[in-house]
């Protein structure tokens, strides 16, 4: 399943989705969101796919933001429609039952930064640049950037980045917790694949439940979140993976998760 501006490649248990409009710095459009949503729906049903990587074509940008020419045509209602569409698709990434890794090359600005933040993990090339420059256009982040950024880097740093609209480099993004790892440009996808490989041979059901515990628990008070974790921990014991994993440990052999 592929489209000219959004490409899908499968590499063993890993699926790689590439935003493929480098002339426009892979800017997001309504069509981009529609195509991404369709791809995610298909990949969720594909049992052979265990991890998804999102990246951008070319060496200049992961995603440099939204389509500014399109934004310039919006009124109040159409702007809200766009924001809700984008938020729905980014929520789809965030709640996807399989790990999603952003391999960020070049600019990740505006909607591109927001999309990267919806992923579980972010690996950045040394040349990557992050920012929410919307205030320079007289608008604010609209794809839940004000909400995800503060949860990742804290209230003060999120306000600094959003209020100034300034970019930060990959090392600073890593220092403040926006990025998990910074790597040389040439090894970006290899590093993403390697990280994906560390997850692909683990229990898919356990990873999905751990993701649910972390993401949903973050929105609860500690006691309620802990009880929620206990419920999901208990649910693990209804799975074939838990029986296999525990038996493999006792029998001193590698687990064969199916």
Which residues carry out catalysis?
114, 134
HSE-CB for 164 with a 13 A CA cutoff: 11
Q: What is the DSSP string of 103-124?
A: EE-SEEETHHHHHHHHSSEEEE
How far is the CA of 161 from the CAs of 134, 168, 225, in angstroms? Answer: 10, 8, 30
Q: Which residues fall within 8 angstroms of residue 139, CB to CB, at 6 or more apart? A: 71
The distance from CA 170 to its chain's CA centroid, rounded to whole angstroms, is 16
Give yes or no for a contact between 101 and 195, defined as CB atoms under 8 angstroms apart: yes
Q: Residue 18 belongs to what H/E stretch? A: strand 14-19
Q: Which two tokens stand for residue 167?
A: 């970019």
């Amino acid at each position: 399943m592929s489209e000219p501006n959004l490409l899908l490649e499968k590499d063993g248990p890993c699926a790689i989705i590439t935003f493929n409009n480098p002339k426009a710095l892979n800017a997001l459009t309504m069509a981009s969101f529609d195509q991404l949503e369709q791809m995610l729906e298909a990949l969720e049903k594909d049992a052979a796919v265990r991890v998804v990587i999102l990246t951008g074509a070319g060496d200049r940008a992961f995603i440099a933001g939204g389509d500014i020419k399109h934004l310039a045509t919006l009124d109040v209602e159409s702007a809200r429609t766009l924001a809700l569409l984008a938020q729905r698709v980014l929520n789809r990434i965030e709640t996807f039952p399989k790990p999603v890794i952003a391999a960020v090359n070049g600019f990740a600005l505006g909607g591109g930064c927001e999309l990267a933040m919806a992923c579980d993990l972010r690996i950045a090339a040394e040349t990557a640049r992050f920012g929410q420059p919307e205030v320079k256009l007289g608008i604010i982040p609209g794809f839940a950037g004000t909400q995800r950024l503060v949860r990742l880097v804290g209230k003060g740093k999120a306000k600094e980045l959003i209020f100034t609209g300034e970019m930060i480099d990959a090392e600073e993004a890593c220092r403040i917790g926006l990025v998990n790892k910074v790597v040389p440009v040439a090894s970006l996808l290899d590093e993403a694949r390697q990280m994906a490989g560390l997850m692909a041979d683990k229990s898919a059901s356990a990873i999905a439940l751990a993701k649910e515990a972390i993401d949903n628990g973050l929105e609860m008070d500690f006691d309620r979140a802990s009880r929620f974790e206990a419920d999901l921990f208990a649910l693990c014991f209804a799975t074939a993976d838990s029986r296999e994993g525990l038996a493999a440990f006792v029998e001193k052999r590698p687990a064969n998760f199916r």
